[in-house]
Structure 1
Amino acid sequence: MANQSSSYPILCASFNQDNSCFAIGTRNGFKIFDCNTGRLLYQRDVGAFIIVEMLYRSNLLAIVGAGEQPSLSPRRLCLFNIINGTALRELNFLTSILSVRVTRKRLIVVLQEQTYIYDVNNLEIKRIIDTVPNLKGLCAFSTSLENPYLALPASTMNGSVLVYKVIDLNTHCEVHAHRSPLAAIAFSSNGMYIATASEQGTIIRVHLISDATKSYSFRRGTYPSTIFSLSFGPSTDLPDILLATSSSGSVHVFSLGLDQNERSRKSNSFLGSIMPGSVSDVLDPAHHLVFHHVFTAGVKSDAVVRKIDKASGSSMSEHIALRATVSVITFSGYFQEYGFRLNHKNEATWTLEHEYNLLTAIAEETTS
């Protein structure tokens, strides 16, 4: 998630694939933190960076400079080894790199009108996708071994998404999600679902990838707002919750684990008989919780659901249906960890458990 505006001290922020660590880029360099402890693991002060992507907890980083000095061109991708502080390989492009995603098998590089897919082991180009103008570098990349999908905008006029299989390199489907252009895309951890938000930011939609069908629609609000990030809760099946951060300074939690009997009752109601299920979900506030003033309105943010415990566990209180750990990075320079609890009456509590200043953090052992 990159931001080139000088109004923020953080230029980019991203969680690694299992949300155990995160990296930030600033005008001075980049830093890597442990999500569980908030501890600064690594930093390097060599100039401004707009992309810093981790490969799980390995020594490999994919980094792109902000172009404020010749050696850190935004057209050059560097695969960097943090152990010895050297560049393993460099890839140069004709235009600026807007996004990078990496897994153990594939490296994705997003330019304004092209997306490159590489074999991460030998950096062989597997496919070059010509895209519609993608000024924001929007993309989503599923890290699931069973469903390794890549999603890219399909139109500049509406919120359609093209989904590709990155192993066999074929187009899988096109999802027609919104009438307005896209603002955010995210896959569930199992790669089975994709969440989208448009530039209007009023509706969040979730589609099942296997047949491109709409599973859920949620109304975030009545007035337009910029959606900064989308994140599913970790799950091997249907995710329990979907998280969204918006320019209003709020975090929105949408419940996906809707009881099937409740769906059946809804479909048998008068409203359900004249409206499709996805539309009636939009009108149902019971599955949308809003936590206001989590961060300053207008400040960019990225948030993920790191852990989830459900009521089936013996350690859970009988009154608690779901407990989650939510981590938020603000581009103003803070990392916040919240405890989210939801009871069986759909009543929620939201507790700030930890907060760290990312700009003043000092590593126990600095390798820079």
Structure 2
Amino acid sequence: MLYKSSLLALVGAGEQPSLSPRRLCLFNITSGTALRELNFLTSILAVRVNRKRLIVVLQEQTYIYDLSNVEKKVVVDTVPNLRGLCAFSPSLDNPYLAFPASTAEGSVLVYDVMHLQPHCEIHAHRSPLAAMAFSSNGMYIATASEQGTIIRVHLISDATKSYSFRRGTYPSTIFSLSFSPSADLPDILLATSSSGSVHVFSLGFELNERSRKSNSFLGLIMPGSFSDVLDPTHHLVFHHAFAAGVRSDAIVRKIDKGSGTSMSEPVALRASVSMITFSGHYQVFGLRVNHKNEATWSLEYEFNLLTAAAEQIQL
């Protein structure tokens, strides 16, 4: 979906011509009409869209279109990308697309979709990539490898590593990464993993030196130089948020924060997190961190999509 508009980019998963995985349909849900159809020689693995560009990812090629007239701007040859892994910035000021640059290691190719040229290559991990995501302003990209033990955040402008987080000691598949929708430096980074856990990392609250040195969730601020891997106690882990092994994608819908009554008090934070699982559950969680750095994670809303779909079919 193009943000909250009526435009959908649909790809089928069946054998019929109208549901072919090689066919993309731009569909207007308000008028109920197909606006444009695009056909490809191989299956479409991923689709991304913002207000200027439409991105179609195939196994070894990525197509970039002008969304206004669906004119093909360029076809980028890529390394084999069997899972269609990519990330697309929603920001028009930093209009970047990212996809794997290697099948042997975790290198990311960042491509400028407006100027139609590579921007930089980031060597993020030793193992191949498993997940990546841009911040809402397009200035940062988070990556995780197939090992899933380390999550790194890079500043796009100069391809430098800004943050490095340890998710855990044992390997785990990272299903999704999501930044909070902040205008400047994102406040938190969210990750879901095959262990059934949700991990929350803090990226840069404006804290004083006393809070900055504290061993707390909100005290996670980068010093001038830092070790490659941060202590795992510097992030929140919510276990059993969903069934282990079931793919789950989570995003930070909104975030609110406020300062304390004195300069020595840490920042309080409240975030709304939406999660959808491949088992058909849609959930909304509330994350709250008080001025004592005490965190709570509560289920605020839950909806079974498969049950609702079955009821609609019966009707």
| Aligned-partner Cα distance in 1 for 2:27–2:244 | 35
Contact 2:259–2:267 (8 Å) recurs in 1? no
Counterpart pick for 2:114 among 167, 170, 176: 167
Which residue of 2 is the match for residue 340 of structure 1? 287
Cα offset, 1:285, TM superposition: 3.0
1:224 matched to 2:177: no
Give the deviation of 1:82 after TM superposition.
1.2
Check the 8 A contact 1:153/1:159 in 2, yes or no: yes
Q: Which residue of 2 aligns with 1:140?
A: 87
Residue 132 of structure 1 and its aligned partner are, at CA, apart by 0.3
User: How do 1:271-286 and structure 2 match up within 5 A?
Assistant: 276-279=225-228, 282-286=229-233
Structure 1 residues 295 and 352, CA gap change in structure 2 (3 angstroms): same
Q: Which amino acid in structure 2 is aligned with residue 115 of structure 1? A: T
State how 1:141-156 maps to structure 2 within 5 Å: 141-156=88-103
State how far apart, in whole Å, the 2-side matches of 1:278 and 1:142 are: 28
Partner of residue 136 from structure 2, selected from 172, 181, 189: 189
| 1:56, distance to aligned residue in structure 2 (A) | 1.4
Q: Return the alpha-carbon distance in structure 2 between the equivalents of residues 218 and 163 of structure 1.
A: 21
Aligned to 2:305: 358
Q: What do you get for the CA RMSD once the two structures are aligned? A: 2.5
Q: Is 1:309 paired with 2:265?
A: no
Structure 1: runs of 5+ lacking an equivalent: 1-53, 267-271
Residues 262, 170 of structure 1: alpha-carbon distance in 2 compared, 3 angstrom cutoff:
farther
| Residue 288 (structure 1) aligned with residue 235 (structure 2) | yes
Flag the structure with more relative contact order, 1 or 2, with Cα contacts below 8 A and sequence separation at least 6. 1
Q: How far apart are the structure 1 equivalents of 2:150 and 2:42?
A: 33
Amino acid at match of 1:139: C
2:22 — aligned with what?
75
Indicate if the aligned counterparts of 1:112 and 1:135 stay in contact, CA closer than 8 A: yes
CA distance in 1, matches of 2:211, 2:42: 48
In the alignment, what sits opposite 1:261? 209
* 1:360 partner SS: helix
Q: Which one of 112, 116, 121 corresponds to residue 63 of structure 2?
A: 116
Answer yes or no: is the 8 Å Cα contact 2:135–2:141 preserved in 1.
yes
Gap change, CA 1:67 and 1:146, over 3 Å in 2: same
Offset at residue 331 of structure 1 (A): 0.9
Q: Which residue of 2 aligns with 1:349?
A: 296
8 Å contact 1:216–1:278 — kept in the other structure? Answer: no
2:194 to 232, 238, 247: 247
- Measured against aligned partners, the alpha-carbon deviations of 1:307-360 in whole angstroms (never above 9, x if no partner) come to 11112399xxx8871110011001101111111011344321101011011123
1:123-164 deviation digits (Å, cap 9, x = unpaired)? 111111000000010110001121111001000000000101
8 Å CA contact 1:303–1:329 kept in 2: the answer is yes
How far apart, in 2, do the equivalents of 1:233 and 1:278 lie?
Answer: 24
Residue aligning to 1:94: 41
Cα deviation for residue 88 of structure 1 reads 1.1
> Post-superposition, which runs of at least 4 consecutive aligned residues in structure 1 deviate over 4 A?
262-266
CA distance in 1, matches of 2:118, 2:47: 20
Equivalent in the alignment of 2:217: none
Check 1:262–1:145 CA distance in 2 against 1; reply closer, same or farther (3 A cut).
Answer: farther
Q: Secondary structure at the match of 1:361?
A: helix
Deviations 1:206-241 (A, max 9, x none): 000010000001010111111000000111111110
Q: In the alignment, residue 312 of structure 1 is paired with which amino acid?
A: S
Q: Please tell me the residue identity of whatever aligns with 2:296.
A: T
**Aligned counterparts of 2:14 and 2:307: Cα–Cα separation in 1:** 24
Unaligned runs of 5+ in 2: 215-221
User: What corresponds to 2:273 in structure 1?
Assistant: 326
User: For residue 72 of structure 2, what is the aligned residue in structure 1?
Assistant: 125
Distance 1:197 1:263 in 2: 28
SS at match of 1:359: helix
**How many corresponding residue pairs?**
301
1:56 is aligned to 2:3: yes
Find the residue that maps to 2:37 and give its secondary structure.
strand
Contact 1:190–1:236, Cα closer than 8 Å, also in 2: yes
**Secondary structure of 1:277's match?**
coil
Residue in structure 1 matched with residue 153 of structure 2 by the alignment: 206
Identity %, equivalent residues: 78
Q: CA deviation at 1:190?
A: 0.6
Of 30, 50, 59, the match for 1:103: 50
